[in-house]
Amino acid sequence: MQLQQQATQIPLRHFFRNPEKTAFKISPNGAYISFMAPYQNRLNIYIQPTSGITDPIRITAETDRNISGYFWANSQTLMYFKDNGGDENFHLYTVNTDGSGNKDITPFGNVVAKLIDELPDKDEEVLIALNKRQPELFDVYRFNTTTGELTMAAENPGNIADWITDHNGQIRAAVASDGVSHQLLYRDNENQPFRNVLTTNFKESLSPQVFTPDNKFVYAVSNIGRDKSALVVFDLANGTEIQELYAHPQVDVASVIYSYKNHKLLGASFITWTLEYAFFDPQRKQLQQTLETLLGRKAYITDADKEEQKLIVATTGDRSYGVYYLYDTTTGSLTKLADISPWLKEEELAEMKPISYTSRDGLTIHGYLTLPKGVEPVNLPVVVNPHGGPWHRDVWGFNPEVQFLANRGYAVLQMNFRGSTGYGRAFWESSFKQWGKTMQNDITDGVQWLINQGIANPKRIAIYGGSYGGYAVLAGLTFTPDLYACGIDFVGVSNLFTFLNTIPPYWKPFLEMMYEMVGHPEKDKEHLTQASPVFHVQQIKAPLFVAQGAKDPRVNINESDQIVSALRNNGVEVQYMVKENEGHGFHNQENKFEFYEAMEQFLAEHLKG
Does the pLDDT at position 3 exceed 50?
Answer: no
H or E segment at 99?
A: none
Looking at residue 34, its pLDDT comes to 98
The secondary structure of residue 274, as a DSSP letter, is S
What is the average pLDDT score of the chain?
A: 95
Nearest in space to 159 (alpha carbons), one of 189, 144, 139, 133: 139
Answer yes or no: are the C-beta atoms of 524 and 514 closer than 8 Å: no
d(CA 446, CA 381): 15
Average pLDDT over residues 115-119: 94
Looking at residue 373, its pLDDT comes to 96
Q: Hey, how many other C-beta atoms are within 10 angstroms of the C-beta on 582?
A: 24
Query: Known catalytic residue: 527?
Result: no
Report all structural domains of the chain as residue ranges with CATH numbers, in order of start.
347-607 (3.40.50.1820)
Query: Known catalytic residue: 560?
Result: no
Reported as a pLDDT band with limits 50, 70 and 90, residue 460 is: very high
Reported as a pLDDT band with limits 50, 70 and 90, residue 508 is: confident
Query: Known catalytic residue: 584?
Result: yes
Looking at residue 53, its pLDDT comes to 61
Q: Hey, how many other C-beta atoms are within 10 angstroms of the C-beta on 244?
A: 13
Catalytic residue among 83, 87, 394, 552: 552
- What is the per-residue pLDDT across 552-572, written as a single tens digit (0 to 9) for each? 888 999 999 999 999 999 999
Q: Hey, how many other C-beta atoms are within 10 angstroms of the C-beta on 512?
A: 16
Q: What percent of the chain has pLDDT over 70?
A: 99
Average pLDDT over residues 599-605: 98
- What is the per-residue pLDDT across 462-498, written as a single tens digit (0 to 9) for each? 999 999 999 999 999 999 999 999 999 999 999 999 9
- What is the per-residue pLDDT across 10-57, written as a single tens digit (0 to 9) for each? 999 999 999 999 999 999 999 999 999 999 999 999 999 998 767 899
Average pLDDT over residues 217-225: 97
Lowest-pLDDT choice from 53-57, 381-385, 396-400, 498-502: 53-57
Looking at residue 609, its pLDDT comes to 54
The identity of residue 566, as a single letter, is: A
Nearest in space to 396 (alpha carbons), one of 275, 305, 267, 572: 275
Does the pLDDT at position 383 exceed 50?
Answer: yes
3-state secondary structure 422-486: CCCHHHHHCCCCCCCCHHHHHHHHHHHHHHHCCCEEEEEEEEEEECHHHHHHHHHHHHCCCCCCE
Average pLDDT over residues 107-136: 93
Reported as a pLDDT band with limits 50, 70 and 90, residue 510 is: confident
Catalytic residue among 27, 222, 359, 467: 467
- What is the per-residue pLDDT across 520-551, written as a single tens digit (0 to 9) for each? 999 999 999 999 999 999 999 999 999 999 99
pTM for this model (two decimals): 0.94
Can you list the pairs that 151-158 forms with residues at least 24 positions away whose Cβ atoms lie under 8 Å?
153/127
Answer yes or no: are the C-beta atoms of 45 and 67 closer than 8 Å: yes
Catalytic residue among 248, 584, 587, 606: 584
- What is the per-residue pLDDT across 345-370, written as a single tens digit (0 to 9) for each? 999 999 999 999 999 999 999 999 99
Q: What percent of the chain has pLDDT over 90?
A: 92
Reported as a pLDDT band with limits 50, 70 and 90, residue 502 is: confident
Does the pLDDT at position 221 exceed 70?
Answer: yes
